[in-house]
Amino acid sequence: MKMKDIDFTKTALVLIDLQKGIVPIGGDEIVEKSVQLVNRFREQNGFISFVRVDFQDGKDALKPETDQKSSAPQERPADWAEFDSRLNVQEHDYIVTKRQWGAFFGTDLDLQLRRRGIDTIVLCGIATNIGVESTAREAFQYGYNQIFITDAMATFTKEEHEATLSYIFPKIGKLRTTQQFLMENES
């Protein structure tokens, strides 16, 4: 996969969990960088998929026994799953609602990408080592080329973020900053 001048007709921007209840984990900078990517994909008529995690009644949430309790609040505000308004989600954008960490399992994301001839995913969002990494591992197993926008993702600690960027993502894709990606793919 050559980075310069990617084919936007075969590339999707996939944004993970940039919703009101999760954005505070990563901060405003992640949303601001993501908006730059969304704008570039809109300029190029690229495919954009906004992914959120949400639950119907809580019975559809995963509840395995683990050593570490989930930090997710049990009671969520009504707007918890709404996308951050700065992203300017539009009617023709593709929305994926997932019930677990990864955006492929139990959704039709792979089907929608393949029907459009998409073979490359530009991935960003929150949390680097949870939703983003789970989606990236799934995409790798489906055979997608991937570009990880390292400064448009975040997680709970710098150590967790850096571990995924250092040990997982280089094995399954290419790492770029927002600025590097935008400069390599100018309109």
Q: What is the pLDDT along the chain (187 residues), one digit of tens a residue?
A: 445 679 999 999 999 999 999 999 898 999 999 999 999 999 999 999 999 998 766 666 666 575 777 655 567 778 879 999 999 999 999 999 999 999 999 999 999 999 999 999 999 999 999 999 999 999 999 999 999 999 999 999 999 999 999 999 999 999 999 999 999 998 6
Residue 94's DSSP bridge partners are 49
pLDDT at 68: 72
Alpha carbon separation from 48 to 110, 131, 144, 145 (Å, rounded)? 13, 17, 16, 16
Q: Where are the beta strands (DSSP E) in the chain?
A: 11-16, 47-53, 94-98, 120-126, 145-154, 174-176
